[in-house]
Amino acid sequence: MNLGLTRSGYRGATIEDAGAHNTRIVLRAIRAQGMLTKADLARQTGLAHPTVTNITRRLIERGLLRTAGMQRGGRGQPATRLVINAEGAHAIGLNVDRDHITMVLADFAGAVKARLDTEIAFALPEQVRSFYRRNLDRLLGMAGVEAEAITGIGLALPDGLGVIDLPGMPTDYAQWSATNLEALFAEPLGKPIFIENDAAAAAIGEMQFGRGQREANFFYMLISYGLGGGLVVGGQHERGADGRSGEIGFMPVPGEGPTGQAAMVPLQSIVSIAGLNRRLTQAGRAPFAQGEALSADAALQRIHDEWIEECARALVQPLVAVNLLINPGVVLVGGRLPMPLLERLTQRTNLLLRSGGRDAPAIAPVMAAALAEDASAVGAALLSFDDLALAEDAA
């Protein structure tokens, strides 16, 4: 719900805005708690009991909530307990990155029922469509879900995919800028297509299914081939004036220029899989590949350690700025890195922030996100669920 000032003037909440907002917080409360009565919902959300009754009735009618027995023991009549109906909706989420494609099938509870991925460096639109079409039946079969049960397809990809120059990008990659994304995935299912920035999708997924269930104000950093960010304030994803809020990867930090000289460089040239690959290739190693087990190779561990140290030092001042400007409750870090690497990065960053941010009024802890690996793909699937749950809402 976007209240108050917009770029063009003032904007209040319409009935539809309020209804959508109320439906979202009811769903978030049930997802976070697992099982609630209408009285519980009214108490936890602050909504009037008739509003809660109307919202839950509609969600039950749509098959998105179900009853789960009676709660007894208090005064008065037993109360009906409500839970998320995981089988009430299914969606496909795709995350297209510059070196990787992930496709998941998720249920309405956010559980990933099937997952496929592939490593392709700078995959062109036709290659991505081919991967999707070739593996769709396999994905449905793995999940045990009929094609008719899919409510929509969500697509998460970096902004400026074919425009922003990153190491190794071929010239024909620019065709992404002219690609009709809806048409790319329209067949064979013919379902609605929802498109979102990958970091924003990750933040939305974390808000609904991860640590965001307990924290209404957070900043999400997505470490992919580049580095993106998503901002959640008061349980709402904030896009900014041009839909580009959270672009922490473009913040200039001290680094190394192309000829090895000291220079100001974009943060994402360091804190990214591209940044890790630079160190790996300089050492004669193969680029990072998702899903590979961390090696006990001491030389490789040293490369990881050096990269983590470089990242943590580069992150200090940008994260101090995030804390001063936004005051998040937590900074969550996700992406395709193995969890042990993510945790080491967050631990080292927290340690350096204690001294680097000692003059700041408040410094939020940096933590690994709950949906770290597949957050963008799961968040993309959630876009379809959001549309389904909010259809014709005006509570």
The fold adopted by the segment(s) 211-369 is: Nucleotidyltransferase; domain 5 (3.30.420)
Q: What is the β-pairing status of strands 65-71 and 330-335?
A: unpaired
CA 146 to chain centre: 26
Assigned token pair, 274: 């591209």
The DSSP line for 124-150 is -HHHHHHHHHHHHHHHHHHHT--GGGE
What DSSP element (H or E) covers 221?
Answer: strand 218-223
Q: What is the pLDDT of residues 241-283, one digit of tens each?
A: 888 899 999 999 998 887 778 899 999 999 999 999 999 999 9
Which pLDDT value is given to residue 243? 83
Domain at 89-203+376-389, CATH homologous superfamily: ATPase, nucleotide binding domain (3.30.420.40)
Which pLDDT value is given to residue 213? 86
Closest CA to 215 of 44, 332, 108: 332
Residue 36, classed as helix, strand or coil, is: strand
Which pLDDT value is given to residue 394? 44
Which pLDDT value is given to residue 3? 44
The domain ranges of the chain are 4-84, 89-203+376-389, 211-369
Which pLDDT value is given to residue 290? 65
Which pLDDT value is given to residue 2? 47
Which pLDDT value is given to residue 256? 86
CATH 1.10.10.10 fits 4-84, yes or no: yes
b/e code 211-250 from CB counts within 10 Å (16+ = b): bbbebbbbbbbbbbbbbbbbbbeebbbeeeeeeebbbbbe
Assigned token pair, 228: 């993106």
Distances (CA, A) of 230 to 26, 227, 247: 22, 11, 8
Which pLDDT value is given to residue 28? 87
Residue 308, classed as helix, strand or coil, is: helix
Which pLDDT value is given to residue 78? 76
8 A C-beta contact, residue 42 and residue 52: yes
| Amino acid letter, residue 264 | M
Q: Rounded to the nearest 5°, which phi and psi values hold at 375? A: -60, -40
Radius of gyration of the chain from Cα atoms? Answer: 22
Domains 4-84 and 211-369 share a fold: no
Closest CA to 93 of 287, 338, 371: 371
Distances (CA, A) of 185 to 92, 125, 360, 378: 11, 10, 47, 17
What DSSP element (H or E) covers 217?
Answer: none
Residue 152, classed as helix, strand or coil, is: strand
Q: Which residues of the chain have pLDDT under 70?
A: 1-17, 72-77, 290-295, 391-395
